[in-house]
Each structure stands twice: as structure tokens, then as C-alpha cells.
């Protein structure tokens, strides 16, 4: 493995630790919106993880996966916050 | 050497996060929290599939685990009404006993796993598949398995999906619709839905030689339908009921027609003649994509859309007055 | 050389992720936490994408990386807005 | 035996057991359906972990195809279960 790839892999470890810290907010809450925000962080962070993995594992197809994840994180956010016709 | 350890830390972190999120989703007292954790779990699972060199699964999981299942559970949560907010976990001696049994079961399964993995290098289908792939008409091995080597299984899979959606259609009218979108969401839908449809088309085409295929493309199209419904389009962008019926059965129909045509030409059922496999697979996959997308979209709608028969009863409104 | 610059950009991007996460954990109320998340993450991801594009060198991948960043930018801005809107709706109640 | 294979397969077992316990301990139907989904994810993870063959080799595509269809079937089964639950509640209300 090249030095660059190894450095990016180290970056991946840091990023995962960061996401774990961010997810602590999902556990603490207190409001439901705090937890959603934490999921949103996991969405963006997940895209970053996939991009790093794409390079480190030499699998460019993972960039496509990152693209799909970015699109679907938006769908999830909409699903989390929408109201039905007869909701208050 | 350094890289090996970094990979091990990465794997441990991902595994711990998965267990933590799974635990949180299963053990939260409040159902709302559980569902939010479940969505996060789906996102994480997509990353784990990518790490385990399963980009085909990562694509499907991103669309279904993070998007569709979450949206489904969230809309079911609304029906739950006032029970949300109550402690949803049973406690007491039986729960404690169950936890103990669970630990025992986990230990037993772990022992079996380690024992099995340690025996010897198992016979791998991978080599068999790699040897045959040049005859399959595609170069993505997962697509080759799904549409050629194990095409029977995929045909039956589509039948299972159809059975599930028929069950949903038989159970009652569609769930209530969402409010009309405000300017922000409307703007989001305006660019997100076309992009989702475009990506679905790309994944369908790419499936022959790269990660992608009918299941991923169908899930992406269904996500577009979910997004439309969330934005206040009750029909989720689906065509009218006659066309819906046609689309629901399109996958099975394409499979069956190709199979019968091949038998008439003197081949076995779904044994593609040399040189034709690529075209036939793309044909079946296109039909399957439409069928899977329609199935999942109707599953999300959760009942008969307008035009399928008896319309919504009035019980739902009573339900809501209590809650508010 | 472009590898080194790229790596530096990725590293810089990661520091934004770290800052964003700490902000999400430490800031006192929901709205400031949302602020920390969107600012830090989107800038962080932008730097990371630029860095990776430099390291990779291919034009197609660079375009894709840029597209990913744009998507996340638009999507997370909308998501943050919707979450804040829902929170305010519930605070009014 | 690879480290990644072992770790993820064990995680899969952990998730399976967690999901099973949740299915039995949850009170609400929705909670149980969610727990069963975690259970299924655990099975999928174990399968894919075993299919992984290390950085140099491409993984076994057969479990991948199996799990891919499994994910789609799981979500439609979830939708059917939720629809059944809704019908059940409506008939209790009547």
C-alpha cells in the first residue's frame, strides 16, 4: 500500500471516530430533532467515508455508492420531517 | 504492517458502531427514537457493505435500508398515535431470563462460526462462477448469478414481491396523503426526483458490467416515488390503475415470455442461446426494474391507491381526533 | 506533489469534520448545533473531495466527486432547514 | 481465517441475537417488526462476511446475490406486516 493510501486510511479511522462522537448526540438527545441532526451527520460523514474507501480500496464504483447515499440522505430527512394532511 | 492495523481498527469501529446502533434501535423505550436509530443503522450498513467489497449491496442498502424502510416505519409510526412515548420494552424476571438466554445463544452461534471458519478452506462457488462468467452475457458476477445462473430464483423472488403487494392491496385503501410541499421541499423535489430517476437508469444500464442492476435501479425509482408522495402527491407519481396492474406483473411476464419463447425455440426454460444472453438479460432487467419500483412504491403507499376499488373509510378521522 | 497538496486538503477537510462533531456534541441548543453541523460538514466534504480529486488525477472521477459534493451541499441545506422548521413548530406548541 | 471476516460475522451474530430478543421483548407491533429487521440484517452481515475473501481476491458473488434479493424481499415483507398491523388496529377500533 502506498504512503498516500495509508495516510488516507488513517484519515478514515479519524473520520469514523468523529462520527462515533457525533452519534453520541443521537443517544443524549434530548429532542427528537437532535437525534435527526445526528443522523444527518452520519449521512454526510458516510459519504466522506465512502469516498475515502473508494480510493483506499481502489474501487471507483464506491463513488457511485456515495452519490446514491447523498441522494437518499435527503429522502430520509424529508421522511423524518413531513406532516400528513390531518396532522397538527 | 501499519496498514493492516489501521484496517483492523476501521473494522472494529464499524462493527462496534453497528452493534451500538442496532442495540439503540432495538432497546429504546420510545418507538420514535428506535426508528431514527434504525435509519442511522441502515446508513451504516451501506458503508459496511462497501467495506466488505459488496458495492451492489451498498447501493441497494442506501436506497432501501436508509430510505425506503425508514420512510415506511415513519409512516407506520403516525398510525401508532398515542402509544408512542410509552415504554415499549417489557421488563421483569422473564425479560432478564430472556437476556440470559440471548447471551447463551450468541455464545453458541459464535462457537459454531469460529469452528466452521477454522475447519478448512471451503469449496467456493466464486471460482466456479468466475470460470463461467464469460458465457453469461454480462461481466458483473452478481448480475450473472441473478439473471443467468440462478434466474429461476429471481423469477420466484419477483413472484414473492407480487404476492406481498397483493396482500397489501387486499388489506385496505391507501394511507392518508401528506400535506402539499412548501417552497423549500418543492424545490428539493424538483431536482432530487429527476436525479433519482436518472440514477436508476444509469444503475440499470451499468448493472451488466459494474455494480448495479434491476434491484438497485428499482429501489432508486421507488425512492423517487416516496419523495413525490412526501411532497404531497398522493399517487406517488405512479400511472393510473390499469397501467399499475401491468407494471406490477411486468417482471414476471418478461421472465415467463422469454422462458416460453426459448422453449419454443428448442432450449430449456431460461437457458439463453449463445450470443443472446446480454440482450435478453437487459430486456428482463428493464421489465423487472419497473415491476420492483411499482411494487415498492405501492408497498409504501400501504394500500389500494385511488381507482382500485372501495375508497377510504371514515374510521381514520375518528382516530385522529382522539390523538390531537 | 499534487499528492501532497491533495493529502493536505483531505487533512484540512477532516479537521472540519472533527470540529463539526465536537460542535454537535458540545453546543448548548439545537439551532446552534445545526449551524455547527452544516457549516463544518459541507466545507469539510468540499475540501475532502477536492483533495481526493487531486490525488486521483482522473477527470471523470473529479467530476463525480464535485457532483457528490454539490448534492450533499444542496441536500443537507434542505435537511437542516426542515429539521429546524419542525423544531420551531414543536416549540410553538 | 481473516480478521475482517471474523469480526463482521460475529457482529452479524450479535445483531441477530439482539433483534431476536427485541422481537420477544417489544410490546408494540411496530417495535417487533423493526427488531425483526435488525435480526435479518444480522443474518445478511454474517453471510457477506463469510463471502469476503481478503483484499486481493474478489468476494464470492453468490451470497451477494442472495442478500441483494433478501434486502428487497425484507422491505416488502415489512410493508405487508405494517399494513396487516394497520388493518388489525382499524378492526379493533370498530
Q: CB-based burial of residue B266 (10 Å sphere; 0-12 exposed, 13-18 middle, 19+ buried)?
A: exposed
Per-residue pLDDT of C1-20, as tens digits, reads: 788 898 999 999 999 999 88
Cross-chain Cβ contact B113/D9 below 8 Å: yes
In chain C, which residue ranges form alpha helices assigned H by DSSP?
A: 2-26, 30-56, 59-92
Share of chain B above pLDDT 90, in %: 37
Residues pairing with D50 in the sheet: none
pLDDT at B302: 85
Best CA proximity match to B222, nearest among B203, B242, B241: B203
Interface of D with B in 22-51 (CB under 8 A): 22, 24-28, 30-31, 33-35, 37-38, 41-42, 44-46, 48-51
**pLDDT over threshold 50, residue B324:** no
Q: CB-based burial of residue B7 (10 Å sphere; 0-12 exposed, 13-18 middle, 19+ buried)?
A: buried
C29: left (phi over 0), alpha (psi -120 to 50) or beta: beta
Cross-chain Cβ contact D65/B146 below 8 Å: yes
pLDDT at B199: 93
Is there a contact between A39 and A26 (Cβ–Cβ < 8 Å)? yes
Cross-chain Cβ contact D18/B102 below 8 Å: yes
For B303, the grid coordinates are: 394500500
Cross-chain Cβ contact B58/A62 below 8 Å: yes
For C62, the grid coordinates are: 473529479
In B120-171, which residue ranges form alpha helices assigned H by DSSP?
A: 125-132, 141-144, 151-171
Per-residue pLDDT of B11-30, as tens digits, reads: 999 999 999 999 999 988 88
**pLDDT over threshold 90, residue B197:** yes
Cis before C27 (ω within 30): no
Partners of residue B322 in chain D, C-beta under 8 Å: none
Interface ipTM: 0.95
The mean pLDDT value of chain B amounts to 85
- Classify each residue of A44-54 as buried b or exposed e, where b means 16 or more C-beta atoms within 10 Å of its C-beta: bbbbbbbbbbb
Distance, in angstroms, between D89 CA and closest chain B CA?
9
Name the band, by pLDDT with cuts 50, 70 and 90, for residue B82.
low
Q: Considering only residues B101 and D92, tell me which one the structure prediction assigns the higher pLDDT.
A: B101
Is there a contact between B229 and B74 (Cβ–Cβ < 8 Å)? no
Q: How far apart are CA D49 and CA D1, in angstroms?
A: 11
Q: How far apart are CA A23 and CA B44, in angstroms?
A: 11
Domain span including residue A23: 3-81
Per-residue pLDDT of B205-233, as tens digits, reads: 988 888 888 999 999 999 999 999 988 88
What's the CA dihedral at B68, B71, B74, B76 to 10 degrees? -70
Cross-chain Cβ contact D50/B27 below 8 Å: no
429522502: which residue's cell?
A: A75
Per-residue pLDDT of B307-323, as tens digits, reads: 777 655 544 444 443 33
404531497: which residue's cell?
A: B232
Best CA proximity match to D74, nearest among B61, C71, C72: B61
Q: How far apart are CA D35 and CA B35, in angstroms?
A: 10
Cross-chain Cβ contact B113/D18 below 8 Å: no
Distance, in angstroms, between A45 CA and closest chain B CA?
10
pLDDT at C51: 93
Residue A88 belongs to a domain: no
Cross-chain Cβ contact B185/C82 below 8 Å: yes
The mean pLDDT value of chain C amounts to 87
Per-residue pLDDT of B273-299, as tens digits, reads: 877 888 888 889 999 999 999 999 999
Cis before B40 (ω within 30): no
pLDDT at C78: 84
Please, what is the Cα angle at B105 between B101 and B108, to 5 degrees? 140
Per-residue pLDDT of D42-91, as tens digits, reads: 999 999 998 888 887 888 888 899 999 999 999 999 999 999 988 888 88
Give the residue-averaged pLDDT of A63-68.
Answer: 92
pLDDT at B314: 44
Cross-chain Cβ contact A37/C85 below 8 Å: no
* Domain residue ranges of chain B, discontinuous segments joined by +: 1-89, 92-121, 137-309
Q: Do chains D and C touch (3 or more CB pairs under 8 A)?
A: no
**pLDDT over threshold 80, residue B99:** yes
Q: How far apart are CA D94 and CA D87, in angstroms?
A: 11
The mean pLDDT value of chain A amounts to 87
Is there a contact between C53 and A54 (Cβ–Cβ < 8 Å)? no
Partners of residue A72 in chain B, C-beta under 8 Å: 62-63, 66-67, 223
The answer to whether residue D54 neighbours chain B at the CB level (below 8 Å) is: no
The answer to whether residue B324 neighbours chain A at the CB level (below 8 Å) is: yes
Q: What's the gap between Cα B123 and its chain centre?
A: 30
Best CA proximity match to A71, nearest among A42, A47, A45, A38: A47
Partners of residue B31 in chain D, C-beta under 8 Å: 28, 30-31
Residue B6 has its nearest CB partner, among A9, A35, A86, at A9
End-to-end Cα, chain B, rounded Å: 61
Per-residue pLDDT of D17-46, as tens digits, reads: 999 999 998 888 899 999 999 999 999 999
Interface of B with D in 239-298 (CB under 8 A): 292, 295-296
**pLDDT over threshold 70, residue B44:** yes
* Cα B310 to Cα B170, B173, B297, B306, distances in angstroms: 11, 7, 20, 9
Distance, in angstroms, between B62 CA and closest chain A CA?
5
Residue C49 has its nearest CB partner, among A11, A22, A51, at A51
**pLDDT over threshold 70, residue B1:** no
Residue A86 belongs to a domain: no
pLDDT at A62: 92
Structural domains in chain D plus CATH codes? 3-93 (1.10.287.3510)
Q: What sign does the CA torsion over B289, B292, B297, B300 have?
A: negative
Domains in chain A, number: 1
Name the band, by pLDDT with cuts 50, 70 and 90, for residue B125.
confident
**pLDDT over threshold 50, residue B63:** yes
pLDDT at D39: 95
Is there a contact between C47 and C7 (Cβ–Cβ < 8 Å)? no
pLDDT at C37: 83
In chain D, which residue ranges form alpha helices assigned H by DSSP?
A: 3-25, 29-51, 61-93
pLDDT at B130: 81
Amino acid at each position: 500500500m502506498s504512503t498516500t493510501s495509508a495516510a488516507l486510511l488513517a484519515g478514515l479511522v479519524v473520520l469514523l471516530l468523529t462520527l462515533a462522537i457525533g452519534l453520541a448526540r443521537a443517544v443524549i438527545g434530548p429532542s427528537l430533532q437532535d437525534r435527526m441532526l445526528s443522523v444527518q451527520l452520519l449521512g454526510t460523514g458516510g459519504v466522506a467515508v465512502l469516498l475515502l474507501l473508494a480510493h483506499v480500496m481502489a474501487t471507483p464504483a464506491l463513488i457511485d455508492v456515495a452519490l446514491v447515499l447523498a441522494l437518499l440522505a435527503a429522502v430520509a430527512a424529508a421522511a423524518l420531517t413531513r406532516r400528513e394532511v390531518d396532522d397538527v | 504492517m501499519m496498514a493492516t492495523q489501521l484496517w483492523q481498527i476501521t473494522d472494529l469501529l464499524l462493527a462496534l458502531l453497528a452493534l451500538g446502533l442496532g442495540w439503540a434501535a432495538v432497546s429504546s423505550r420510545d418507538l420514535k427514537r428506535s426508528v431514527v436509530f434504525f435509519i442511522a443503522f441502515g446508513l451504516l450498513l451501506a458503508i459496511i457493505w462497501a467495506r466488505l467489497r459488496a458495492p451492489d449491496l451498498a447501493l441497494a442498502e442506501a436506497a432501501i435500508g436508509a430510505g425506503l424502510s425508514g420512510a415506511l416505519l415513519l409512516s407506520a409510526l403516525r398510525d401508532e398515535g398515542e402509544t408512542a412515548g410509552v415504554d415499549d420494552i417489557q421488563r421483569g424476571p422473564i425479560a432478564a431470563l430472556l437476556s440470559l438466554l440471548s447471551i447463551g445463544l450468541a455464545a453458541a452461534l459464535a462457537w459454531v462460526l469460529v469452528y466452521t471458519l477454522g475447519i478448512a478452506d471451503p469449496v467456493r462457488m466464486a471460482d466456479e462462477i468466475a470460470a463461467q462468467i464469460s458465457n453469461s452475457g454480462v461481466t458483473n458476477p452478481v448480475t450473472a448469478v441473478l439473471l443467468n445462473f440462478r434466474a429461476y430464483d429471481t423469477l420466484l423472488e419477483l413472484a414473492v414481491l407480487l404476492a406481498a403487494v397483493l396482500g397489501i392491496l387486499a388489506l385496505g385503501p391507501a394511507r392518508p396523503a401528506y400535506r402539499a410541499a412548501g417552497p423549500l421541499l418543492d424545490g428539493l423535489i424538483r431536482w432530487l426526483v429527476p436525479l433519482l430517476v436518472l440514477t436508476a437508469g444509469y444503475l440499470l444500464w451499468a448493472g451488466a458490467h459494474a455494480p448495479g442492476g434491476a434491484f438497485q435501479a428499482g429501489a432508486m425509482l421507488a425512492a423517487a416515488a416516496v419523495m413525490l408522495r412526501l411532497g404531497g402527491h398522493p399517487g406517488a407519481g405512479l400511472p393510473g390503475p390499469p397501467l399499475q396492474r401491468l407494471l406490477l406483473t411486468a417482471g414476471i411476464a418478461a421472465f415467463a415470455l422469454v422462458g416460453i419463447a426459448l422453449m419454443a425455440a428448442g432450449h430449456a426454460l431460461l437457458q439463453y442461446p449463445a450470443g443472446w444472453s446480454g440482450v435478453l438479460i437487459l430486456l428482463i432487467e428493464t421489465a423487472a426494474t419497473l415491476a420492483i419500483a411499482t411494487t415498492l412504491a405501492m408497498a409504501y403507499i400501504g394500500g389500494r391507491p385511488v381507482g382500485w376499488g372501495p375508497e377510504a373509510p371514515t374510521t381514520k378521522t375518528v382516530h385522529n381526533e382522539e390523538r390531537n | 506533489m499534487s499528492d501532497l497538496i491533495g493529502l493536505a486538503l483531505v487533512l484540512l477537510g477532516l479537521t472540519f469534520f472533527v470540529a463539526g462533531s465536537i460542535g454537535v456534541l458540545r453546543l448548548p441548543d439545537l439551532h446552534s448545533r445545526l449551524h455547527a453541523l452544516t457549516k463544518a460538514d459541507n466545507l469539510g466534504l468540499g475540501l475532502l473531495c477536492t483533495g481526493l480529486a487531486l490525488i486521483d488525477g482522473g477527470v471523470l472521477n473529479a467530476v463525480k466527486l464535485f457532483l457528490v459534493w454539490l448534492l450533499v451541499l444542496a441536500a443537507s441545506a434542505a435537511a437542516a432547514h426542515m429539521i429546524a422548521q419542525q423544531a420551531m413548530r414543536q416549540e410553538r406548541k | 481465517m481473516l480478521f475482517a471476516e471474523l469480526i463482521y460475522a460475529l457482529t452479524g451474530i450479535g445483531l441477530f441475537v439482539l433483534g431476536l430478543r427485541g422481537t420477544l421483548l417489544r410490546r408494540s407491533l411496530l417495535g417487533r417488526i423493526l427488531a425483526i429487521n435488525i435480526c435479518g440484517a444480522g443474518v445478511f452481515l454474517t453471510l457477506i462476511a463469510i463471502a469476503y475473501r481478503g483484499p486481493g481476491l474478489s468476494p464470492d458473488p453468490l451470497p451477494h446475490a442472495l442478500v441483494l434479493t433478501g434486502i428487497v424481499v425484507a422491505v416488502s415483507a415489512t410493508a405487508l406486516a405494517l399494513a396487516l398491523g394497520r388493518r388489525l388496529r382499524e378492526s379493533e377500533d370498530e
